[in-house]
Amino acid sequence: MSLSTITAVSRSLGRPVVDTLSAFPQYQGLSGGMQVPTDAELLSQIADMDLLAELQRRHESFNEADNLAREYSLNMEQRTLTAFPHSESVRLWLDAIDNGELRSKLAKDAAIAPQNLSAQISANRLSAELAIAAARIAGVGLANGLVVAGHLTPREAYWQDDARELALSRISTSCLASVAANRLEILSRTLRKSEDEQRSSRQLWEHLG
């Protein structure tokens, strides 16, 4: 039975989805392997622009005289982050939990071609089996991959509602800057690719339209 069927039935019955899944042989041990997401995982699920906005907010507050008080109020302030999973959720989550060779190990364990895995990641997809296997290899909560790949909602995997906001408030500004720099690098690659694609479409239309 497919994961989407099980989750749909479980949701309609109002049962905890993770528990229902654990009753099936292929998802055995799922409920036992639940862990709170790490800060790295949480940060990976914050959209680029939210990270940049946070950086800007801190920058502004640092320019103020009463640093400490400002910082304190900043932490207490209600941050509203864009809902996730976002358009690079799968790739960034894998990067966040990767402690070396994750992708090659994952492809080997699941007996799929590395290109097949890359294709899924590029499309921001990850099958339930791979999501669980990746979490198992990396030693993080087993349901976390199901959340970032969109199979489960964060609540169904017992992620705290403001978990990402709290992780963001904990991260040092220097770390934040380096995470944001990495995101901008990825963003510029994505943008370049889509600009190239647009240019070739335009060229096609210009000559044949």
Partner 1 sequence: MSAALQWLALGLCLMGTIWRIKATIQGRNPELFGAFGLATISVALSIPAIYLPIDNAFGADNYANLLLRICLFGVFFLLSGKIAAAFNSERSYRLIRGPLGIIVFAVSVVGVCVCFFLGNFDISSTGLRAYAHEEILLAYSAWGKLYLAYVSACLIPATLSAWLHSPNRLLKAAGALLSLGFALVFLTPLLELTLRSHSALATFTSFAAVVLVAAGLMTVWLSFLRRITKSNDPTKYTFS
Residues found near partner 1 in the complex (CB under 8 A):
47-49, 82, 86-88, 190-191, 193-194, 196-198, 200-201, 203-209
Question: Cβ closer to partner 1: 75 or 200?
Answer: 200
Whether residue 154 is preceded by a cis peptide bond, meaning omega within 30 degrees of 0, is no
Q: Which two tokens stand for residue 147?
A: 């959340």
We find the least distance from the C-beta atom of residue 203 to partner 1, in angstroms, to be: 5
DSSP state of 81: P
Question: Cβ closer to partner 1: 73 or 201?
Answer: 201
Distance in angstroms (rounded) separating the CA atoms of residues 171 and 13: 39
Question: Cβ closer to partner 1: 20 or 45?
Answer: 45
Question: What angle do the packed helices 48-63 and 163-170 form, to 10 degrees?
Answer: 40
We find the least distance from the C-beta atom of residue 11 to partner 1, in angstroms, to be: 25
We find the least distance from the C-beta atom of residue 32 to partner 1, in angstroms, to be: 33
Residue 26 and residue 6 in contact, taking contact as beta carbons nearer than 8 Å: no
Q: How many CB atoms lie within 10 A of CB 135?
A: 23
Q: What is the dihedral of CA 150, 38, 187, 137, to 10 degrees?
A: -70
Question: Cβ closer to partner 1: 28 or 201?
Answer: 201
Question: Cβ closer to partner 1: 15 or 199?
Answer: 199
Residue 61 CB burial class (10 angstroms; 0-12, 13-18, ≥19): middle
We find the least distance from the C-beta atom of residue 48 to partner 1, in angstroms, to be: 7
We find the least distance from the C-beta atom of residue 64 to partner 1, in angstroms, to be: 29
Residue 47 and residue 180 in contact, taking contact as beta carbons nearer than 8 Å: no
